[in-house]
Structure 1
């Protein structure tokens, strides 16, 4: 599992970005990748990555 911080999340549109702690790379996260959690900007999370339609996405995102 990777760890990071929610950089941005728009609840109305259902997507945002997670910044990886180690690489500082940003990954797209869709509401379907949140495992039922609700997240806000600056929340600490664990996540996995998976190839999506437009690049690598954060999936199985959960707060820590």
Structure 2
């Protein structure tokens, strides 16, 4: 599992970005990839899956 911090998440639009702790790369996250509800600045664990427009965070859980 990868770890990161929620940089931005818009609940009404259903998407946001996670900043990876190790690489500091931003990963797109869609509401369908969430296990737990998340908010800005939450520490999370996640997996990466290739999507239509690049990498997406999936199985996102609060750490």
Same fold by TM-score, threshold 0.5 exceeded? yes
Unaligned runs of 5+ in 2: none
Distance 2:52 2:15 in 1: 14
Q: Does 1:16 align with 2:16?
A: yes
Q: Helix, strand or coil: the match of 1:41?
A: coil
TM-score normalised by length of structure 1: 0.96
Count residues in correspondence: 63
Q: Which residue of 1 aligns with 2:52?
A: 53
Unaligned runs of 5+ in 1: none
Distance 1:3 1:50 in 2: 15
RMSD of the TM alignment (CA)? 0.4
Q: Helix, strand or coil: the match of 1:28?
A: strand
Distance 2:58 2:37 in 1: 14
TM-score normalised by length of structure 2: 0.98
